[in-house]
Amino acid sequence: MVYMFLANGFEEIEALCPLDLLRRAGVEVTTIGVGAETLCGAHGIKVAADIPEIMYRDSSPEMVILPGGMPGAENLDNSRIVDAAIRSAHKNGGYLCAICAAPMVLGKRGLLREKRAVCFPGFEEYLEGATVSESETVVRDGKIITAKGMGAAFEFGLALIEALKGKDTAERVKASVFAK
């Protein structure tokens, strides 16, 4: 199963754009509310999560997605449930995906060591042991996918689709969005 964790202060576009693209690709994604079922994004947009974090039970998630935004990324970082999901996905070969400030959550746990990654400028110090790319907006290194920020949300979403469903599906979804 694929899970996207939302916490108060999340960056709306970094969450909703990839979520929309994944669902267009036929990927079943469950959104999980950290601290509440209805969350308020960094720009005042309220979003109802599919389930509250206390209902999360998967011991082997296929993919965990962390949108950035502040204080959303800090709230994700402080969640025991998010920590457990990240660790179980990593242990069992699932994908760990984070955008903007959220790669710090992975970096602070040492999960980016010897990996290439990107993040929102100013958060590089938290990407412990990573090789931070200066030229890319989205980086996939094995089972880790990171993105720079809101402007990369579409590309990030396509990278998630490609990881789960292949390049052809990602291209089909991209083409459908720009269809005339």
Q: Which residues participate in catalysis according to the annotation?
A: 100
Paired sense of beta strands 38-40 and 46-48, if any: antiparallel
- What are the Cα distances from residue 85, in Å, to 9, 52, 79? 20, 14, 10
CA atoms within 13 A on the CB side of 167: 0
- What are the Cα distances from residue 123, in Å, to 68, 100, 108, 150, 162? 11, 8, 11, 15, 26
